[in-house]
């Protein structure tokens, strides 16, 4: 039994955990700011809710990577494929962009979204712009997701599993 499958699963778990932890902190941070606005003006609930959800996508992306990985290496289907340690490490590396960038970008997106919440509080008519500021950060999570997916698929293609 090689460490291959262990490293592959470790990668997927890190992606899910990194993205999920970042999103949890981020959504919580924005939620606190949003709750403050809603105490003053409950009608702004819808607008701040969108801002609160924005840093939550990283958790989703991380989950996506973990799920794809588990499917690719057959753990999900119940018949894991044999991986050498090197192959396992390749999967591990493929997951790293999502794990790292997912965590960091969720935190920073949350910061942008918290600032956006104060836009909604003071100038609700400009709330669209607040969303865009926060969404800018998300680009990098999307790019990381993409690289993780492409790397993973190509690893699978190369080892012929």
| Distance, CA of 58 to CA of 107 (rounded, Å) | 10
104 within 8 A of 22, measured Cβ to Cβ: yes
Q: Counting contacts by CB under 8 A, is residue 60 touching another protein? A: yes
Q: Counting contacts by CB under 8 A, is residue 153 touching another protein? A: yes
| Distance, CA of 31 to CA of 52 (rounded, Å) | 6
Residue 85 C-beta: closest distance to another protein, Å: 26
Per-residue binding letters, 25-44, with another protein (x by CB under 8 A): --------------------
| Distance, CA of 98 to CA of 20 (rounded, Å) | 11
Residues 112-131 touching another protein, rule: CB under 8 A, are 128-129, 131
117 within 8 A of 48, measured Cβ to Cβ: yes
Residues 65-94 touching another protein, rule: CB under 8 A, are 67-68, 76
Q: Counting contacts by CB under 8 A, is residue 45 touching another protein? A: no
Q: Counting contacts by CB under 8 A, is residue 139 touching another protein? A: yes
Alpha helices in the chain (DSSP H): 4-40, 45-53, 57-72, 85-122, 127-159
Which residues contribute to the site for another protein (CB under 8 A)?
A: 50, 53-54, 56-57, 60-61, 63-64, 67-68, 76, 128-129, 131-132, 135-136, 138-139, 142-143, 145-146, 149-150, 153
């Amino acid at each position: 039994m090689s460490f291959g499958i262990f490293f592959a699963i470790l990668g997927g778990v890190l992606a899910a955990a990194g993205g999920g932890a970042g999103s949890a902190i981020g959504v919580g941070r924005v939620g606190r700011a949003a709750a403050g606005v809603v105490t003053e003006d409950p009608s702004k609930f819808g607008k701040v809710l969108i801002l609160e959800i924005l840093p939550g996508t990283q958790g989703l992306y991380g989950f996506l990577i973990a799920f794809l990985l588990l499917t690719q290496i057959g753990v999900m289907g119940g018949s894991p494929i044999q991986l050498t340690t090197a192959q396992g490490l390749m999967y591990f590396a493929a997951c790293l962009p999502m794990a790292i960038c997912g965590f960091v970008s969720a935190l920073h997106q949350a910061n942008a979204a918290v600032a956006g919440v104060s836009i909604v509080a003071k100038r609700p008519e400009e709330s669209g712009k607040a969303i865009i500021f926060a969404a800018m950060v998300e680009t990098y999570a999307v790019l990381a997701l993409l690289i993780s997916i492409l790397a993973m698929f190509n690893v699978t293609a190369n080892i012929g599993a």
